[in-house]
Amino acid sequence: MYTTTRCETTIPSHQHQQDQNHVQKLPSGLKMKDVSGSVVVVMVPLPAQGHLNQLLELAYFVASYGIPVHFVGSATHNHQAKLRSHIAPSSSPSDICFHDFPTPPFHSPAPDPNSTYKFPSQLQPAFDAASFLRGPIASLIRSLSLESRRVVVVHDSLMGSVVQDAASVPNAESYVFHSVSAFALYWYTWEATGMVLPKEDEVDIAELLSSEGFLSLRVSFTDEFLKFIASQHEFKKLSLGSIYNTCRVVEGRYVDLLASATANGISTKHWAIGPFNMVKAPDKSSKRSAHMCMEWLDKQAASSVIYVSFGTTTALSNEQIRQIAIGLERSGQKFIWVLREADKGDIFSGGGEARKIELPQGFEETVTAGDLGVVVRDWAPQLEILGHPATGGFLSHCGWNSCMESISMGVPILAWPMHSDQPRNAILITKVLKIGLIVKDCMNQNKVVKSSTIQGGVEALMASEQGDEMRKRAAELGVAVRGSMDEGGVSRAELDSFITHISR
């Protein structure tokens, strides 16, 4: 039924020509090499923002080598990925073929800001519906396999079951994309297998593990999601290798440890080819966003502003938001605070009043009058904000996508992890890389973090010697990470190696 390998959208040829030129400028300095032969890549993301976004960036990288990329998902999630992409903010990218495949209607409940645990269980129905992509994806792979030398499937680590039919197509092969840090993944592997960590390790993981709270899987995930993860596990053996949105400059040690931990006689390959966000917008849209917070940043002193955002999955209670507002105001530090409700499984579905997130009375007037900060209630250009010289810190939930964006822009993090891999990422940032501080007591779930604690954390990162040290180290790491994507850099070499491997 869905055997078409053509893109739905046809592009006028003159425009196509133009876009091809832009492709050659993508990403920053990557040269277009025609190594494609007739290799095609099929990308299959998990339908959650941090996952969609990373795989779309990877799609651009691969497409910049002249290899056709087919990006697969439900219509709503493909639309979400394109709409929020920093690469092509206004138009749909023409060098990537999006396939909108049908999924059954799914329940798209509002997130519960009062839930004890912060895992976004409101997204589970969307994940479950995505399992119905298996049939259309199998058809796509089969029909592509007839007209290509090789079909390369790159799928989210949690979409293994959906792409399992690739294994029965002789000229198809699959690779797992991990959307979390190698550090977090190594830690999970260590827990699952009881491997002994090398002695000289910077972090005593055993000690951290014995602590209660967010580092415990039962707290940072729902039981339902743990089952979902487990159900994807068996399909890992069908893949020939792993791709990470990370950089050896950041955590090469853990990529190596993972490679040795997962070897078990099976030769799988590992490519650390991040940061994916280094992919640049085509020239015509590379002008910066017109968002009002960018102009506000222009008027602020260097490294004086803390950017506050907890990502797309976490809904905070009214009381917690009140405490954050008071903490920020009392710190006296300049801020940009992205105050949005967490995503639903279908961000475009109506139904029910969207929650109006209330701030303490007079808060917005006071901070605006004193030019202390900006509250953003729409989609913020996060990467650009982090890249602005006035931004000197990031109060973050430590989702891996946010971590990589902050690291590549050289901005230190005030870590406030909420769920999933975030607590482990926070340990990487604060204890291993030492480019951030942790919000005191945030690892105790189900407790409102007090305004005085938030104030203390913000002051420590933005206005203390310790914070300055973190900022210095983060800036140095940022230079190294950005350099890794230049010709001769370590991530560029791994990206080249992946492309060479799939076009062999």
Ligand X SMILES: *[C@@H]1O[C@H](CO)[C@@H](O)[C@H](O)[C@H]1NC(C)=O
Q: Which residue numbers are catalytic? A: 51, 156
Smallest separation (angstroms) from ligand X to the CB of 453 = 21
Q: In what order do the strands lie in the sheet with 305-309?
A: 373-376, 334-338, 305-309, 391-396, 413-415, 436-438
Smallest separation (angstroms) from ligand X to the CB of 113 = 6
Contacts with 482 (C-beta within 8 Å, 6 or more apart), sequence order: 278, 408
Structure tokens given for 283: 């020239």
Contacts with 400 (C-beta within 8 Å, 6 or more apart), sequence order: 50, 54, 179, 180, 181, 184, 245, 421, 425
**Nearer to ligand X (CB atom), residue 83 or residue 326:** 326
**Nearer to ligand X (CB atom), residue 13 or residue 116:** 116
Please state, as a whole number, how many other Cβ atoms lie within 10 Å of the Cβ of residue 166: 24
Smallest separation (angstroms) from ligand X to the CB of 340 = 16
Contacts with 82 (C-beta within 8 Å, 6 or more apart), sequence order: 56, 88, 92, 93, 98
Smallest separation (angstroms) from ligand X to the CB of 355 = 7
Give the 3-state secondary structure of residue 254: helix
Q: Which residue lies nearest ligand X, judged by its C-beta?
A: 114
CA-atom Rg of the chain in angstroms = 22
Q: Backbone phi, then psi, for 156, in 5-degree steps?
A: -55, 145
**Nearer to ligand X (CB atom), residue 216 or residue 318:** 318
**Nearer to ligand X (CB atom), residue 284 or residue 355:** 355
User: Would you say the C-alpha torsion 400, 401, 404, 405 has a positive or negative sign?
Assistant: negative
**Nearer to ligand X (CB atom), residue 12 or residue 350:** 350
Please state, as a whole number, how many other Cβ atoms lie within 10 Å of the Cβ of residue 14: 8
Burial (CB count within 10 angstroms: exposed 0-12, middle 13-18, buried 19+), residue 298 = exposed
Q: Would you give the end-to-end CA distance of the chain in angstroms?
A: 31
**Nearer to ligand X (CB atom), residue 45 or residue 113:** 113
Smallest separation (angstroms) from ligand X to the CB of 317 = 6
Residues of the shown chain interacting with ligand X in the complex, contacts defined by CB under 6 A: 112-114, 318
**Nearer to ligand X (CB atom), residue 113 or residue 478:** 113
Give the DSSP H/E element, type plus range, for residue 47.
Answer: none
Smallest separation (angstroms) from ligand X to the CB of 115 = 9
Give the DSSP H/E element, type plus range, for residue 197.
Answer: none
Helix axes 465-483, 400-408, angle to 10 degrees: 90
**Nearer to ligand X (CB atom), residue 113 or residue 457:** 113
Q: Backbone phi, then psi, for 83, in 5-degree steps?
A: -60, -40
Give the 3-state secondary structure of residue 468: helix
Contacts with 233 (C-beta within 8 Å, 6 or more apart), sequence order: 160
Residue in this structure with the two tokens 């480019």, named with its chain if needed: 435
Q: How far apart are CA 340 and CA 399, in angstroms?
A: 16
Structure tokens given for 335: 């801020």
Smallest separation (angstroms) from ligand X to the CB of 118 = 14
Smallest separation (angstroms) from ligand X to the CB of 418 = 17
Please state, as a whole number, how many other Cβ atoms lie within 10 Å of the Cβ of residue 202: 12
Virtual CA dihedral for 388, 394, 398, 399, nearest 10 degrees?
Answer: -30
Smallest separation (angstroms) from ligand X to the CB of 396 = 24
**Nearer to ligand X (CB atom), residue 353 or residue 378:** 353
